[in-house]
Chains A and B, each alone.
Chain A
Amino acid sequence: MDRREFLGRCTRAGLSVTAAGALGIGLYDGKPPEAFSDTTASVKIPDFSIAEMKGRICIARGTDRSATVRQAFEALGGMKAFVKPGERVLLKVNAAFASPPALGATSHPDLVASVVRLCIDAGASRVTVTDNPINDPASCFALTGIGAAVRQAGADVVIPRASLFQRFTVDKGRLIRDWPVLFDPLARADRIIGLAPVKDHHRSGASMTLKNWYGLLGGRRNIFHQDIHTVIQELAMMIRPTVVVLDGTTSMMTNGPTGGSLSDLKPTGTLVVSTDPVAADAAGATLLDKRPDDLPFIAKAQDAGAGIADYRSLDLKEIQFG
């Protein structure tokens, strides 16, 4: 018998047994799998707020969005106070519906473009604009005019797609658990600015800067409409923005959030820039002829520590323009 071959065979058999044993015992798992594989632990959304800018709010009266928003930021110390040179800025707009800007269901392209320019002027290295709308994303950015306006102003539009979402759990949250969130743009930003129009909302009473974060959720998010105020509260816990811009130049008074008729709109000539989204929404409620108490999500967001509803107690500046 060939001794060399026999030894070779023995070695191979020994190696195989060792390898199989190592693999089998190494990967052995005596416990059954968990009911849910929790993949969410790794994903964290950073806090985008700036500590020293806490509690600043400016209520600006005016009808020209571009000029008013510029003045409002000026009153809070200029965009430079929020965006440092080289930082990447994400604008979360409301582009929920494929409807023209005149119907007021979405962020106005003029306003978005102005904020983009302010950021670029402040030295932002990259400005991106995103939203996960209700209608087809591409059509929404095209028909609202936001897509063209921001590209012209020098920003990129991120159209959401499946791979940009990550499963995320709001710490101490009840509803947003292991839920797909439009995470990629958030992970690639140093600052986030929320831009929302003032709108009536059938379910929550009003859709303003807090409800605007709904557009970062993916999946079957409509299920949350069963408990809309709590989900807005959790959204307020999920995103701590650098600053929010609430556009009440015209407000959608009825048939929100879609509207659809010019008669739903009312000129209210107000624009709020605030580092406190709860205060911004409380101020915006008055434009819809509502009190902040009428909107339970405001108190809930305040309870969660997302801001202060009594905006008059904050560092409030009121300016009149044009």
Chain B
Amino acid sequence: MRIITTRRISQIFFFLLFLWFCVASTLGEQWWQLRGWPVNWLIQLDPLVGLGTLLATGTLYAGLLWGLLTVVLTLLLGRFFCGWLCPFGALHQAVGWLANRGRKAKVMIAVNRYHRGQGVKYAILVFLLGAAAGDLISRLLRIPFDAPVTVAGIVILLLMLCAIATRLGKRSGKRWMTGVAFIAIGSMVLGLFADGSRLLAASLQTGLLDPIPLFYRSVNLTLLPLVDGQLISLAPSSRIYPGIFAMGAFFWTAVFLNLIIPRFYCRFVCPLGALFGVLGKNALYRVGQKAEGCTVCGDCDHHCEGGCEPSSVIHTDECVLCMNCLDSCRHEVMGYRLQPSAAGEISAPDISKREFVAALTSGIVAVPLARLAGGTGETWNPTVIRPPGALPEVEFLQRCIKCGQCMRVCPTNVIHPAGLQAGIEGIWTPALNFRMGTSGCQRGCIACGNLCPTAAIRPIALDERLGIGDFELQGPIRIGMAFVDRGRCLPWAMGRPCIVCQENCPVSPKAIFTREEFRPVRIGGQLHIRSMDGNRLTIDGPVLPSGQFSTGDYYISINGGSDMPPARITEAGTNTITLEGSAFVEPAATEGRIDLLVRLQLPFVDPTRCIGCGVCEHECPVKTRRAIRVTAENETRERRHQLVL
């Protein structure tokens, strides 16, 4: 069996597995629903997710240990992930093959030649990892320098390093010393002027370009909703994700760039590929030529997926192990061996020291710069409501990879990718919007946290969500709080009876309660009693619209009603009113003044009960800008957002 056939099978296998995981991320217990399908497995295999969260948080969370397997295999075999496993890579390869079938061999050989721009992805990787490393660096800098032992230890270590460096003769000891001195002086000077607390911060942005989260969110949020319907029905109603356009456009751009250069994304942009390039630099096995027999026919370059030039000096770090060169070489020169290529190889990533330092520094500096806006502190945006179980914002941004799994699995479709409202760092992170979806955030649901691969949303238990059992003391998780907009609320602003929010409040005891109020109705004139017969009054005054006041919400009071409670109207004709029971015991004087009142139940929110689930906002009949809206005030994940004691 040809090795490229096996490769194709492997690619198709993982691509279908990926698609299956996307489909199966539907909450439910049917065979095609979530059940126990390991839908995050491909994300967990992605070592960039593990490395990014490791840098940002100092720990490797649960399933992300799978990434270690990928790392170890890459260290031994090279970039097998790109050529054999990555479903995004498989898509690019397929599209690239389709699009470039008709192009001449000469053109393809030219297109597949190594391009200097392929080094850009390393700069991207370094930038993203730099952005994630701020916290780690700040922790390292917090080493107590005033302790003599520590200082002595560091000095000895540095001296040893210098000695080794000098002995190896690769870099002069002088340069090392200069570097160390420079860093020491720099940190001392900075320490003089700043306390350091704002100088460094970590933000995990690898997910923006990391192909696995990117492909997951693109398929789950921009493709599946389009095909979901007749044949397969994954959601009870069409999924909506506002602000998705940029995400989709980005995805399709990446796909269509294959028309120009096959695997464009993999070669020029992909930070995961760059990471594998670095890791696979010293791989035991590598693709290359044997000593004799090469005629420089160019066949190997013709179908090269990595753009690594197997025909001449091969760029090992660019080779995605597609094995096309092995297959197309008619001279049996190409092989996958322990030896380096006879024609020579370049295994170091194409990034100069300058570029490296520039990318790293800008990554480290970018995050504190973004934080200057104060979005994680004083100027936090209360309209960004995070899913239940989400970590405090700073820690959340150190973990969220924007994979969109929470948005995909949310049964009510209330979790959406944020635009810029969560700050530049928070783009495409999950935020709840209760105007959309089929209901608010369901109290009995813990799906998002249990699907989050990095625990940016913690995998909470139902007891913790509801604040029962072991969690009785700390109470339920609140994601925000509802506020009544009295200027838009039907009863508050317009005197129309409505208690939809109160009725739908799922919390027990209800967080929304009402207070009764009788308010005069505007009827354009004054009513008087003409005669009274039992509980039936004939009245003088403006003609009443027939039927409108017979709903049971309308009452009358006589002569200001100071001594009697208002009496309920059971039926109101144009000039007759029938009252409920014998409301007025003594016959009221004729000519008595009648006030037509409406009985309103005005909604209030009890801040100690409201969990911010947004069901009220979702159900509010004021459809555009709801008359009751949830903001993240009083959310439990940030103590600083506490509203009431």
A and B co-occur in one complex: yes
Q: A residues within 8 Å of B by Cβ? A: 1, 5-6, 9-10, 12-13, 16-17, 20-21, 23-25, 27-33, 35-37, 161-163, 175, 177-178, 219-220, 223-224, 226-227
Which residues 607-645 of B have a CB within 8 angstroms of A?
636-637, 639-640, 642-645
Contacts of B71 in A (CB 8 A): 20, 24
Whether A33 contacts B395 in the complex (CB less than 8 A), given A20-B72, A24-B50, A27-B58, comes out as: yes
- The complex places the Cα of A35 from the Cα of B71 at a distance, in Å, of 30
- The complex places the Cα of A16 from the Cα of B339 at a distance, in Å, of 19
Sample of 17 A–B contacts (CB below 8 Å):
A6-B339, A9-B282, A17-B72, A23-B54, A24-B71, A25-B68, A27-B58, A27-B60, A29-B61, A30-B61, A30-B62, A32-B455, A33-B391, A37-B392, A37-B395, A163-B195, A177-B639
Check if B65 sits within 8 Å of A28, measured CB to CB: yes
Check if A13 sits within 8 Å of B62, measured CB to CB: no
Check if B65 sits within 8 Å of A24, measured CB to CB: yes
Whether A32 contacts B54 in the complex (CB less than 8 A), given A20-B72, A24-B68, comes out as: no
Q: B residues within 8 Å of A by Cβ? A: 50, 54, 57-62, 65, 67-68, 71-72, 75-76, 195, 197, 279, 282-284, 338-340, 391-392, 395, 455, 458-459, 636-637, 639-640, 642-645
Check if B65 sits within 8 Å of A33, measured CB to CB: no
- The complex places the Cα of A164 from the Cα of B90 at a distance, in Å, of 54
Contacts of B195 in A (CB 8 A): 161-163
Check if B62 sits within 8 Å of A227, measured CB to CB: no
Check if B68 sits within 8 Å of A33, measured CB to CB: no
Check if A27 sits within 8 Å of B59, measured CB to CB: yes
Contacts of A12 in B (CB 8 A): 282
Nearest-neighbor residue (CB-CB) of A163 within chain B:
B195
Whether A178 contacts B57 in the complex (CB less than 8 A), given A10-B284, A30-B62, A33-B458, comes out as: no
Whether A29 contacts B284 in the complex (CB less than 8 A), given A16-B75, A24-B68, A35-B458, comes out as: no
Nearest-neighbor residue (CB-CB) of B394 within chain A:
A37
Check if A224 sits within 8 Å of B645, measured CB to CB: yes
Contacts of B61 in A (CB 8 A): 29-30, 32-33
Contacts of A32 in B (CB 8 A): 61-62, 455, 458-459
- Least CB distance, A217 to chain B, in whole angstroms: 13
Q: How many A-B residue pairs have CB under 8 A?
A: 87
- Least CB distance, B643 to chain A, in whole angstroms: 7
Whether A27 contacts B76 in the complex (CB less than 8 A), given A21-B68, A32-B459, comes out as: no
A1-B338, A25-B65, A30-B62 known, 12 other contacts, Cβ within 8 Å:
A13-B76, A13-B283, A20-B71, A23-B54, A25-B68, A27-B54, A28-B59, A31-B62, A32-B62, A161-B195, A178-B639, A220-B640
Contacts of A25 in B (CB 8 A): 65, 68
Whether A21 contacts B645 in the complex (CB less than 8 A), given A10-B284, A219-B640, comes out as: no
Contacts of A162 in B (CB 8 A): 195, 197
Q: Would you list the 10 A-B pairs with minimal beta carbon distance, nearest first?
A: A163-B195, A29-B59, A24-B68, A32-B455, A12-B282, A226-B645, A32-B458, A1-B339, A28-B60, A227-B645
Check if B68 sits within 8 Å of A20, measured CB to CB: yes
Nearest-neighbor residue (CB-CB) of A9 within chain B:
B282
Check if A36 sits within 8 Å of B68, measured CB to CB: no
- The complex places the Cα of A320 from the Cα of B50 at a distance, in Å, of 74
Centre residue among A23, A35, A178 by max chain B CB count within 10 A: A35
Check if A13 sits within 8 Å of B197, measured CB to CB: no
- The complex places the Cα of A226 from the Cα of B634 at a distance, in Å, of 14
Nearest-neighbor residue (CB-CB) of B337 within chain A:
A1
Check if B458 sits within 8 Å of A163, measured CB to CB: no
- The complex places the Cα of A27 from the Cα of B62 at a distance, in Å, of 10
A35's partner among B50, B72, B637, B644 (CB-CB below 8 A) is B637
- The complex places the Cα of A285 from the Cα of B392 at a distance, in Å, of 43
- The complex places the Cα of A33 from the Cα of B197 at a distance, in Å, of 22
Check if A223 sits within 8 Å of B75, measured CB to CB: no
Nearest-neighbor residue (CB-CB) of A179 within chain B:
B639
- The complex places the Cα of A13 from the Cα of B286 at a distance, in Å, of 13
- The complex places the Cα of A31 from the Cα of B645 at a distance, in Å, of 30
Contacts of A16 in B (CB 8 A): 75, 279, 282
- The complex places the Cα of A30 from the Cα of B392 at a distance, in Å, of 20
- The complex places the Cα of A33 from the Cα of B454 at a distance, in Å, of 10
- The complex places the Cα of A203 from the Cα of B176 at a distance, in Å, of 63
- The complex places the Cα of A29 from the Cα of B50 at a distance, in Å, of 12
Check if B639 sits within 8 Å of A33, measured CB to CB: no
- The complex places the Cα of A104 from the Cα of B283 at a distance, in Å, of 77
Contacts of A31 in B (CB 8 A): 62
- The complex places the Cα of A36 from the Cα of B393 at a distance, in Å, of 11
Contacts of A223 in B (CB 8 A): 642-645
B60's partner among A13, A29, A227 (CB-CB below 8 A) is A29
- The complex places the Cα of A1 from the Cα of B290 at a distance, in Å, of 11
Nearest-neighbor residue (CB-CB) of A11 within chain B:
B282
A13's partner among B282, B339, B340 (CB-CB below 8 A) is B282
- The complex places the Cα of A35 from the Cα of B638 at a distance, in Å, of 9
- Least CB distance, A271 to chain B, in whole angstroms: 35
Contacts of B392 in A (CB 8 A): 36-37
Contacts of A27 in B (CB 8 A): 54, 58-60
Contacts of A33 in B (CB 8 A): 57, 59, 61, 391, 395, 455, 458
Check if B197 sits within 8 Å of A6, measured CB to CB: no
Nearest-neighbor residue (CB-CB) of A220 within chain B:
B640
Contacts of B643 in A (CB 8 A): 223
- The complex places the Cα of A114 from the Cα of B53 at a distance, in Å, of 56
Contacts of A28 in B (CB 8 A): 59-60, 65
Contacts of B455 in A (CB 8 A): 32-33
Centre residue among A21, A25, A27, A37 by max chain B CB count within 10 A: A27
- Least CB distance, A165 to chain B, in whole angstroms: 10
- The complex places the Cα of A175 from the Cα of B642 at a distance, in Å, of 11
- Least CB distance, A96 to chain B, in whole angstroms: 21
- The complex places the Cα of A277 from the Cα of B395 at a distance, in Å, of 41
Check if A17 sits within 8 Å of B75, measured CB to CB: yes
- The complex places the Cα of A37 from the Cα of B643 at a distance, in Å, of 20
Check if B76 sits within 8 Å of A17, measured CB to CB: yes
- Least CB distance, A42 to chain B, in whole angstroms: 12
Whether A36 contacts B639 in the complex (CB less than 8 A), given A9-B282, A24-B68, A28-B60, comes out as: yes
Check if A6 sits within 8 Å of B338, measured CB to CB: yes
Contacts of A227 in B (CB 8 A): 645
- Least CB distance, B448 to chain A, in whole angstroms: 13
Check if A20 sits within 8 Å of B75, measured CB to CB: yes
Contacts of A23 in B (CB 8 A): 54
Contacts of A219 in B (CB 8 A): 640
- Least CB distance, B428 to chain A, in whole angstroms: 21
Nearest-neighbor residue (CB-CB) of B338 within chain A:
A6
Contacts of B58 in A (CB 8 A): 27
Nearest-neighbor residue (CB-CB) of A5 within chain B:
B340
Contacts of B67 in A (CB 8 A): 24
A226's partner among B62, B75, B644 (CB-CB below 8 A) is B644
- The complex places the Cα of A223 from the Cα of B634 at a distance, in Å, of 11
A24's partner among B60, B197, B283, B644 (CB-CB below 8 A) is B60
Nearest-neighbor residue (CB-CB) of A37 within chain B:
B395
- Least CB distance, B114 to chain A, in whole angstroms: 22
- The complex places the Cα of A301 from the Cα of B59 at a distance, in Å, of 43
- Least CB distance, A14 to chain B, in whole angstroms: 9
Contacts of A10 in B (CB 8 A): 284
Contacts of B640 in A (CB 8 A): 219-220
- The complex places the Cα of A294 from the Cα of B228 at a distance, in Å, of 68
Contacts of A29 in B (CB 8 A): 59-62
- Least CB distance, A270 to chain B, in whole angstroms: 34
- Least CB distance, B147 to chain A, in whole angstroms: 16
- The complex places the Cα of A161 from the Cα of B195 at a distance, in Å, of 10
- Least CB distance, A309 to chain B, in whole angstroms: 24
- The complex places the Cα of A177 from the Cα of B279 at a distance, in Å, of 45
Nearest-neighbor residue (CB-CB) of B643 within chain A:
A223
- Least CB distance, B248 to chain A, in whole angstroms: 31
- The complex places the Cα of A290 from the Cα of B317 at a distance, in Å, of 82
Check if B60 sits within 8 Å of A163, measured CB to CB: no
- Least CB distance, B28 to chain A, in whole angstroms: 24
Contacts of B644 in A (CB 8 A): 223, 226
- Least CB distance, B53 to chain A, in whole angstroms: 10
